[in-house]
Chain A
């Protein structure tokens, strides 16, 4: 407690960001330190789990210190420790979990293990001080593409998910195929702004009628086939056009399904979460489609869309208020379900 505010320290190390944050009363971000490894992994063309784990270990304690000092608090002021315990890379997750448990034990602070995906949704509580459940959430990230009904703070009901590649994964794969490199999402987004989204007819995969599931793995093959055909015909490839057309195929399906889900469940709000929620065209299209039905679309700012400790702190805070606690035997669960 400091100045009568409940303080949560949130720790996130599920993939390639070592991130720690201090959040007051579950809503107010006092500090949000993110030490990214992107430049390291770029050298390898993707996240290398063993290297990510090594860097997390070297960084974690300094990032904790930085988060405390930027928030102008000490460990004694902290009332709750929240930490991502899954899903993610096991070697990366366990650094955060080991650190969180040690802090909780040494300073006698309650501990809460947070599902990373619930954290992504909670990022919206930080961005929108008045937002409260119920709402429909669309979680689109590097590893996940989920439509989730959120009836209250501590319930996340997944009503649809990807059957193969996640949306972010599709962006990353296609970006590599067309030579844009890693990380693919932001690069495709940028290139697409200069391209024609009707140039190439990428298939929209809606699956069975009424399904809220996704399938994006065919898009990479389609991109590869297109590039081959063009090459053989001796035609020059317009990367911007490929990016724009591919992107449109992904975001159109996502936007349609999210809006349909909100309508079916009677939700007046769609809340976006995850790295792909930063995508310019997705935001534009889903807002358009939702507005036609009187549905609001909310999203966190880009810094809260990517992995961060603040979203974990917020999710931990609401779990704590509902009476949840984790023990010192908290384990990392790489394949944690929604």
Chain B
């Protein structure tokens, strides 16, 4: 197996290739929000670092969101079309889940009970989820089980639910950059850990590792079934539902 994984839902894009043994080769975009310009060159770089060619790929995985709508679309469209052109299946991975697994070891080392990735969705909104850290003593294996479902939360609402657990919480994601002061004001000192910047953001390496798990479990889809997870309706759709669609939202052709 050789899986190409794309992660373009955050500020910096990245691509990774993972093989059967779980060895990972990564290439990163050096410019912010340069996903569309860089996506092919970083993919190609990860493929050549892995010592294979694009024809050796067996799957294409993408982080399907939540995150930047534009970034989601670039990653998912690229993965779909590479899958279509190379004749190989696709794998969709949640950006939040990959972020949670990315920090799992660090969380466990810091004796955290719960891992919480938070993506900043502005105006106190977040895309987030939470997972319990499970350590199987006998097998010596770390894993995660879902605690709070992945969805949109107001930061205050999310922190309220986490506070009730009385557990040690490990936060990751760019939500820390936006809401660190609110976290500090809400949770008692010592009851939370903030991921360092080296682990805090979305990365294709973590997507590749989840994708390998999924591929082994047969959780693959045809290229035209790979769907984005925006986690939010378009603003116009919300307004239409509420009956508050205004002329500002309506645009004539341009």
Contacts and interface: CB of A to CB of B under 8 A. Distances in A.
A binds B: yes
Interface of A: 15, 43-51, 53-54, 57-58, 60-62, 64-65, 75, 90-91, 94-95, 97-99, 101-103, 105-107, 142-143, 166, 168-169, 172-173, 176, 182-183, 328-332
A176 B245 CA distance: 16
Contacts of A65: 84, 224
Given A50-B236, A64-B84, A106-B86, A94 B36 contact: yes
B153 to A, nearest CB: 22
B73 A57 contact: yes
A182 B43 CA distance: 42
Contacts of A45: 245, 250
A46 B78 contact: no
Given A43-B240, A103-B85, A61 B250 contact: no
A177 B39 CA distance: 44
Name which of B77, B223, B249 has the most chain A CB atoms within 10 A of its CB. B77
A95 B75 CA distance: 10
B70 A44 contact: no
A103 B79 CA distance: 11
A106 B253 CA distance: 34
Name which of A44, A106, A169 has the most chain B CB atoms within 10 A of its CB. A106
Interface string B28-45: 000000001111110110
Chain B interface size, as a band, is: 35 or more
B191 to A, nearest CB: 38
B244 interface: no
Contact of A98 (B39, B54, B227, B230): B39
Nearest to A141: B253
Nearest to A185: B253
Interface of B: 36-41, 43-44, 54, 69-70, 73-74, 76-78, 80-82, 84-86, 223-224, 227-228, 230, 234-237, 240, 245, 249-254
Given A43-B240, A105-B44, A331 B37 contact: yes
Given A97-B36, A102-B82, A46 B235 contact: no
A105 B254 CA distance: 31
A46 B251 contact: yes
Given A47-B252, A106-B86, 11 more contacts: A44-B240, A44-B249, A53-B73, A91-B69, A94-B77, A98-B74, A99-B80, A101-B39, A102-B81, A328-B40, A328-B41
Nearest to A88: B254
A44 B236 contact: yes
A8 B76 CA distance: 24
A106 B250 contact: no
A252 to B, nearest CB: 22
